[in-house]
Structure 1
Amino acid sequence: MKTKITFLACLLCFTTICRAQSKHSKTSLFPTYKGLIMAGYQGWFRAEGDGSGSKRFAYGNEQRGGMDMWPDVTEYAKTYQTSFVLKSGEKARVFSSYDKSSVDLHFKWMQQYGVDGVFVQRFFGTVRSRDKESSVVLKNALEAASKYKRAIAIMYDLSGLAAKGEDCTKIIDDWKYLVDELKVTNQDGAKTYLNHNGKPVVAIWGIGFNTRPYNIRNIGIEKVIDFLKNDPVYGGCTVMLGVPNQWRELRADCLHDPYLHTLIKSADIIFPWSVQRYSPLMHNDMDRFKDDRIDDMKWCAENHIDYVPTVFPGFSWHNLSVYEFPDDIKPAGSIPREGGRFYWQQMYTVLSIGSPMVYVAMFDEMNEGTAIFKTTDNPPVSQNIQFINMDGKPSDTYLWLTGEAGKMLRNEIPLSSKMPVRQ
């Protein structure tokens, strides 16, 4: 009995020490992902003259387009002139994510329309170089999240990880930097870092895709997951993995490697990437979308993994594909938005089958035409570049629809298969 009591006392002492060492806030306004609709946040738009040193990062120009959508810039405090021309003959202007005022406005919109928060993307190139610009954007996002009481979390994107001779364990040092220097899990003011089951959420996207150059068996991902979950100072996190749409059956966009299931079972949450996998142009594709989600949720329930479905408003990746993939040029608006109908069909489907949380791709992704923030129905005109528009809808349509879906998720208003209409 004495040995047993001594063991329990030591265990309690060890647990207390670990908790005392942890640098994460013990509280958050968002203790669980359940009941929330989160979106991805790129924050990578730059403009010449914004102080970042970048001339046109992510925007492109009339010879080499970078975006398939154009932002509605009427509310930004700072904008920058481009070489693009509007129908009126005026030079088209853009915002910069590097400006604090731009990030502040985005989070203000989230609060105004009821978007619960965002996962800020942190690409592996940033992890490798730790560029100052990305840290500035993230710092401003943390401040704005606290100001507007919006959830925020980090999502590591493995895009840029080399095929040979490099692993992803640099994430460990980067996470330490974010916790120590930027205080991502313990920001000043209101604590809004997204938790799940009382633990900070860290997402890693890009696990198991068959188009990736790296081998998931030798990039050290299991070491990263173990660190994030179990390190006594920087760990104690909920790990969320972004996986291919056909992860369950290991086919189509997914590697045919059962090791992926081993990794998934070591994590806490998964979210399959459904962008570009479904289309309103395909007969009965929403039935397939629904069946896939139901089967995914069943597998996850049986294996004690939480599940987050991904929804997206549409897809267009024409302008970049012209230069990056000339043998596979994508048409503009290849997955049409249909004025919000396609987005709402997905939202209704995942809510109707009982999904307690949702991931939206994306908040500000204009490059692939998936942005839900304010874009314009009057983009520039160009002989070389093609832009999609808003189908005649107001620029805030998708922000508003996302907020309405959040109310339905939380049973604040009745769930409806019919797309809401503003009175």
Structure 2
Amino acid sequence: MALSRRAFVGTALAAAPAAAALPSLTTAAVAASPPGDVVGKITVGYQGWFACAGDGSPMNGNWWHWSQNWGQPPSPSNTAIISWPDVRDYTRTYPSAYPNLGGGGTADLFSSYDQQTIDTHFRWMQENAIDTAALQRFNPNGGEGPIRDAMVPRVRDAAERYGRKFYIMYDVTAWVNMQPETKADWVEKMRQYTASPAYARQNGKPVVGIWGLGFNEANKAWPADVCLDVVDWFKAQGVYVMGGVPTHWRRGIEDARPGYDAVWRALDMLSPWMVGRIGDIAGADNFYQNVNTPDQAWCNENGVDYQPCVLPGNLQDRDRAHGDFMWRQFYNMCRIGVQGIYISMFDEYNEGNQIAKTAENASQVPAGSGLWALDEDGTPCSSDYYLRLTGDGGRMLKGQIPLTPNRPTPTWI
């Protein structure tokens, strides 16, 4: 079964009405750190977790993360995705068991294991001024370990080739022995990649992400002292630690366990999860007022860099409003003065929150599949639209274009 970050919705806040007049911080946010490879930059979460039969990967013919039953090709009755990728830029693809596309042609998919796939993704990042990719690393000590290990040098090579940065983000979801095993994995396997000029650094230190601390979920049940030990250990290794934390970390309610304040203060950068929390502009504005603004104030007071998530919206839930939803988040975060932005995610076709190239219309989606394309609300959007939108959001973050609530990115070029 594919691991997925649960879409936990905070009921009390989600039900609150958006304020008519939204506050801004009265003083400009003071970054704990100067610009580097994550501060002042756009980072994308990069799953890199799709395999196909025939790709030669260590998954031995399994359709990793494309299917529910990995041993069988994806089809309408055996699928793990809710969005369909545009695969026209890939030189190697693999036929699924989905019906042919609405416009004709086989319903082919890509393998993340193929170097050409990763190169294509990092070329898209380069073309759209996306700075850094956080390579997700789930527990590598089981059957998926060989392919997770194999992905890292491939990502490094693509980052070097296209002038992007990358870093390792440990997603500790369901990783029972994460306390000793993340440390061993770093020393024995991952630390070597910091020698690459493409490995992200902040404040002169290599960046490591640890995602999943303090969540009020059964598969993330480590007490605060365990989480603090892991953060402190990595910092003692000379690492800049980015923590992926619950939405309501500061108050210790809903998706967050209470009593983790020492963990939050120990982090160099703090990035609250947002997928499943908002789905429209009113929700984004409500979070801007009630969550993001006080989060930034806490981080300013405690010398922690703040890197909130921005998401395009679940395409299958028809959240995207042809980019207006995502742009509102960029605008809200930039007027707070955040230290960086984390895009959730680059290639998350499983939860429909991907910015990577996606089917434009019904002619590019398997016939009868029920999957929406980017024109779901009647507005034509090019397959690279959310990449371009992210690039413009990054330019606003960096002060290269003026702060504006009006989306500057055309949906089609």
Normalised by the size of structure 2, how large is the TM-score?
A: 0.83
1:229 aligns with 2:235: yes
Structure 1 equivalent of residue 31 of structure 2: none
Trace 1:173-212 onto structure 2 (pairs within 5 A). 173-179=184-190, 183-187=192-196, 191-212=197-218
Q: 1:220 aligns to what SS in structure 2?
A: helix
Trace 1:12-51 onto structure 2 (pairs within 5 A). 31-51=36-56
1:309 aligns with 2:308: yes
Does the 8 A contact of 2:267 with 2:304 survive in 1? yes
1:169 aligns with 2:180: yes
- Amino acid across the alignment from 2:185: D
Q: 1:341 aligns to what SS in structure 2?
A: helix
Structure 1 equivalent of residue 24 of structure 2: none
Q: 1:83 aligns to what SS in structure 2?
A: coil
CA shift, 1:415, in A, is 1.9
Deviations 1:343-368 (A, max 9, x none): 11101110111113110000000000
Structure 2 equivalent of residue 342 of structure 1: 325
CA shift, 1:109, in A, is 0.7
Q: 1:121 aligns to what SS in structure 2?
A: strand
CA shift, 1:173, in A, is 1.0
Structure 2 equivalent of residue 80 of structure 1: 94
Counterpart CA distance in 2 for 1:92 and 1:415 is 41
1:390 aligns with 2:379: no
Counterpart CA distance in 2 for 1:351 and 1:217 is 34
CA shift, 1:152, in A, is 0.5
Does the 8 A contact of 1:169 with 1:220 survive in 2? no
Q: 1:156 aligns to what SS in structure 2?
A: strand
Q: 1:33 aligns to what SS in structure 2?
A: coil
Counterpart CA distance in 2 for 1:244 and 1:343 is 20
Give the length in aligned residue pairs. Answer: 361
Instruction: Assess, with a 3 A threshold, how the Cα gap between structure 1 residues 138 and 172 changes in structure 2: closer, same or farther.
Output: same
Does the 8 A contact of 1:169 with 1:221 survive in 2? no
Q: 1:38 aligns to what SS in structure 2?
A: strand
Selected match of 1:56 from 63, 77, 84:
63
Task: Please report the RMSD computed on the Cα atoms of aligned residues, expressed in angstroms.
Answer: 2.0
Structure 1 equivalent of residue 261 of structure 2: 261
Deviations 1:309-354 (A, max 9, x none): 11100026xxxxxxxxxxxxxxx41x61111111111011101111
Please tell me whether Structure 1 or Structure 2 has the larger radius of gyration of its CA atoms.
1
Instruction: Assess, with a 3 A threshold, how the Cα gap between structure 1 residues 284 and 74 changes in structure 2: closer, same or farther.
Output: closer
Counterpart CA distance in 1 for 2:131 and 2:231 is 26
CA shift, 1:216, in A, is 2.1
Counterpart CA distance in 1 for 2:353 and 2:405 is 22
Counterpart CA distance in 2 for 1:127 and 1:39 is 25
Q: 1:363 aligns to what SS in structure 2?
A: coil
Deviations 1:278-297 (A, max 9, x none): 1217x464133343111001
- Amino acid across the alignment from 2:64: F
Selected match of 1:405 from 379, 393, 401:
393
Does the 8 A contact of 1:278 with 1:289 survive in 2? no
Counterpart CA distance in 2 for 1:202 and 1:308 is 14
Deviations 1:89-126 (A, max 9, x none): 432001100001100110011101111121000002x2
1:132 aligns with 2:167: no
Instruction: Assess, with a 3 A threshold, how the Cα gap between structure 1 residues 83 and 179 changes in structure 2: closer, same or farther.
Output: closer
Selected match of 1:107 from 98, 102, 122:
122
Counterpart CA distance in 2 for 1:93 and 1:284 is 36
1:149 aligns with 2:163: yes
Q: Which runs of 5+ in 1 are unaligned?
A: 1-29, 317-331
Counterpart CA distance in 1 for 2:301 and 2:347 is 35
Instruction: Assess, with a 3 A threshold, how the Cα gap between structure 1 residues 237 and 313 changes in structure 2: closer, same or farther.
Output: same
